[in-house]
Amino acid sequence: MKSLLIPFLLLTATIPGPASAQGKGHALKIRQLTKDAFVFTTWQDIKGQPYPSNGMYVVTKAGVVMIDTPWDTSQFQPLLDSIRTRHKARVVMCLATHWHDDRTNGLTYYRGQGIRTYTTLMTDVLSDKNGNARAEFLVTKDTGFVVGGVRFELFYPGVGHTPDNIVVWFGATRTLYGGCFLKSLEAEDMGNLANADIYAWVNSIRKVRTRFGKAVFVVPGHLAWGGDGLLDHTLDLIREEVERRKEEDEEND
């Protein structure tokens, strides 16, 4: 693994992609978010029902930046093929926003295709510990990137959904990619809390709201995207979970 200590990195190379592969399972879905940003969705069956997982990619003059990978392993190559067909461009960078497999599943595959893969050092430690895919390049602190004239920022707000979750901010379009740190307005509860700290999450959300509270587009890890209302909705769901636990503790006393 290679650590990055430079706060801003300029990427200009493009990497050839491999031959096409046929995807299986639920169809890959790609929807346009802004002029150059697109949300892609793949699925896994949870309790016998398909459940969606979002990632995002941004088209730049130097190639495509992918944030998180398909959850469905059969969609790794079809996503690359779709990007090449639609944009006549290749993916040059892929970063994962925390260690769970709905974010990291494709890192090994994409690294094998010559794509530069990134996570934070904390994500790499947790991925290694849990047997998940790991990236080639490790980010050791909040870092800005410039790829093909598009600037974006990785920000670690603190513990939330996982100890290592980060968000990604595109200032020019005021787009916040929250991943699983943020919940869609469609979400009625906090979902998977296996590695979460529900109490620390409150302060972490506040940090994001202070820093990026004027976001126009906010993309969660699952279900529909929206505006900055997703920050308040996530905070409301956290408070409901805290209250539920408090009542449960009182009943058990």
d(CA 227, CA 66): 21
In Å, how far are 67, 96, 102, 118, 205 from 107, measured between CA atoms?
A: 11, 8, 11, 8, 27
Q: What are phi and psi of 108, to 5 degrees?
A: -65, -45
Pairing of strands 8-11, 143-147: parallel
Q: Say which amino acid occupies 230.
A: L
Count how many residues are written for the chain. Answer: 253
Report, in angstroms and rounded to the nearest whole number, the Rg of the chain calculated over CA atoms: 18
Catalytic residues: 98, 100, 102, 161, 192
Enter the tokens of residue 232: 């308040």
The sign one gets for the Cα dihedral 193, 180, 80, 63 is negative
Residue with tokens 């979460």: 196
Give 242's contacts (C-beta < 8 A, 6+ positions apart). 198, 199, 202
Task: Collapse the DSSP code of 104 into the 3-class scheme (helix H, G, I; strand E, B; otherwise coil) and give the result.
Answer: helix
Largest interatomic CA distance in the chain: 62
d(CA 196, CA 188): 17
